[in-house]
Structure 1
Amino acid sequence: MPPIPAPTETTAPAAPSAGVDPALAAPVAPQVRGARAHALRATFAVLDRLAPDLAAERAVRLWCTPPGNPGRRKDFRPHPGQIDRVRTERGAELVVESWGEGPVIYLVHGWGGWRGQLGAFVAPLVAAGYRVVAFDAPGHGESEPGLMGPGQGNVLDAVEGLAAVGRAFGPAAGMVAHSMGCTAAVVVAREHLAVGRLALIAPNEDFARISYGFAQAIGVTERTRSRLQARLEELCERPVEGFDLGPLGADGGLPDPVVIHDRQDKETPYAVGARIAGSWPDARFLATSGLGHQRILADDGVVAAVVEHLTRPAGS
């Protein structure tokens, strides 16, 4: 098999006009795939007609159940690091692992993932003179459950987890984030922590947009979808649009971001990363091919591009 080309810098297309572009439609949620999909759809179809409030509550539980496929459990750490424990403001104990000394760079995993997924970035960043800090978000890896209890999670858990780790370990020379971790990294950089540079890999779609695809996947109408969104906004304490990556960086206020996305990503379409980068006036956009949503985290070319971005001299 020929080697996969290193990331190439491209010009991200301009942000599209309002409306749902089919190229940006989120794939079917992993919770709604496989043998149980038909039974789920049948149950939700009945509840949608007769008890939309109950349908929405069940949809929220399903939405907030992290996927557990093996790709999200891969471990690329070069060796065990120093283990510390940090508590969020709501009291969840997080497992934090660190390597090296120097300015801090945080690794932020995605939905259903854990800190070891981003372990390929540890050795080169430590060799460059940085302290690398990774953690398991509430309800993920070895950390305690978040605000919804065991087996559940949401984006606010990830935001509060990263903010708590930031308070304990200090300002960030940089952050490397994957998938839903990109939302946590951007919100924390805007609201909680001084950050030097951002590297966002396969950033997630907007949550309102995902909710339409999710509703279609489980077979419910707008009467249930709107209730699902309202419940998510109650849980996350802000409108879902408050987590949209495009608007969060549209004013050019993010710290030197680079966005990397693979053209064959089956979990978050490539067009999503291109759209986000295109809506940020100061973002670089790097494209890969053949790495998908998970293998991109351990690719030598991607790791080298991220390390170069985070460690190059100021002003260059």
Structure 2
Amino acid sequence: MTKKSPITNQSLQIPKPILLTAKLLETISPKLATRFAARLFTTPIKHKIPKREFHMEQNSRQNKLLVPSLQKEIMVYHYGQGEKKILLVHGWSGRGTQLVKIADEFVKIGYQIISFDAPAHGKSQGKTTIMTEFIASILEIEKQFGPFEFAIGHSLGGMSILNAIKQDFKVKKAVTIGSGDIIQDILDDFVAKLKLNPKIALLLKQHFEKKFGESMENYSAHFAAQKVTIPVLVIHDQNDCDVNVKAAHNINKNLKNSKLMITEHLGHRKILGNETVINHIKEFLKA
């Protein structure tokens, strides 16, 4: 367990004009509200790179990579010189340098870090995206720059890694940090943040299933976990305001070979730079 520190609500707040628009559309037509919610759900926020990530951004070799199945280019970062490679995958509205503290520690011990800006994130193309595009990006990066020893993913990145492994992405071990799990839970939470009727979440799921022609629950992390046989370290904070800790317990329960680390008072993002967490990851991957 980590030392206790003041808890901060790191959950992203939705601007009032968006909330008002969503409520107005719901009054007019649930169908319009669903379409509006679907657009918001697939549109990440592009944040400026914070100073703590500057050195990784500046010292990385960067190249654009076309993901043929998406016909989109993504920005790939190569950090460090080691022969053995680790893939880092950021979460929703993140970027390829977000897991910088983890990257720094592994570069110090001789690994090369490869990360990327997912579609519609950072320096990559597009305005909208969804988890299937994260997965496609991982699989294409493996083709071009693999093989990888390990993979570490935060939030949606953790879900994407488990789903990529299910689709034959090969690594020796994996780590998920603050990963979401059940798709309907994610949609329910999103609709709740928009302050819409819970029924919109069901309509939203139906909207995506009609669009993509498959059940969204096929991508739930616990469902993918059932097909994962490699060792996986599942890390989550008890006080995560973005993703409930129950996700970690359910993912862990469905993995065949896993370890669970529950922290306290680190929330959804501070956890990425915590020394105790990083040391635990190093011990797990080196074992």
TM-score between both structures, scaled by the size of structure 2: 0.87
**Which aligned pairs between 1:101-180 and structure 2 lie closer than 5 A?**
101-145=82-126, 150=127, 152-180=128-156
Equivalence for 2:34: 56
User: Which of 282, 288, 292 lines up with 2:267 in the alignment?
Assistant: 292
Distance 2:94 2:51 in 1: 6
Identity, % of aligned positions: 21
- The question of whether the paired residues in 2 share the 8 Å contact of 1:266 and 1:293 is answered with yes
d(CA) in 1 for partners of 2:10, 2:22: 13
More deviation in 38-47 or 118-127?
38-47
Cα distance in 2, alignment partners of residues 278 and 75 from structure 1: 34
AA at the equivalent of 1:270:
V
Q: Does 1:43 align with 2:19?
A: no
Q: Matched residue pairs, number?
A: 279
Match of 2:258 in 1: 283
Structure 1 residue matching 2:262: 3-state secondary structure: strand
Unaligned runs of 5+ in 2: none
2:196 paired with 1:219: yes
CA offsets per residue over residues 185-231 of structure 1, 9 Å max, x none?
11111114211100100011321122223334442353x43332122
Q: What residue is the counterpart of 1:182 in the other structure? A: 158
TM-score (norm 1): 0.79
User: Higher relative contact order by CA 8 Å / sep ≥ 6: 1 or 2?
Assistant: 1
- Residue type at the aligned position of 1:240: M
**Counterparts in 2 of 1:38 and 1:64: CA distance versus 1, 3 Å:** closer
Instruction: Write the letter of the residue equivalent to 1:58.
Output: F
Structure 1 gap ranges (5+): 7-26
Q: Does 1:246 align with 2:222?
A: yes
- State how far apart, in whole Å, the 1-side matches of 2:206 and 2:27 are: 21
The superposition leaves residues 37-87 of structure 1 with CA deviations (integer Å, 9 ceiling, x where unpaired) of 65135313313xxx3332221120011121456798962755611112211
Structure-2 separation of matches of 1:240 and 1:60: 14
**1:28–1:236 distance in 2 versus 1, CA, 3 Å:** farther
Q: Give the equivalent residue in structure 2 for 1:301.
A: 276
Cα-Cα RMSD = 2.7
Q: Bigger shift: 209-218 or 94-103? A: 209-218
Partner of 2:44: 66
Q: 1:95 aligns with which of 56, 75, 82?
A: 75
Output the amino acid matched with 1:83: Q
Instruction: State the Cα deviation string for residues 62-119 of structure 1 (Å, max 9, x = none).
Output: 1112145679896275561111221112221111111222122100000000011111
1:3-46 deviation line (CA, Å, top 9, x unaligned): 9439xxxxxxxxxxxxxxxxxxxx99846x34336513531331
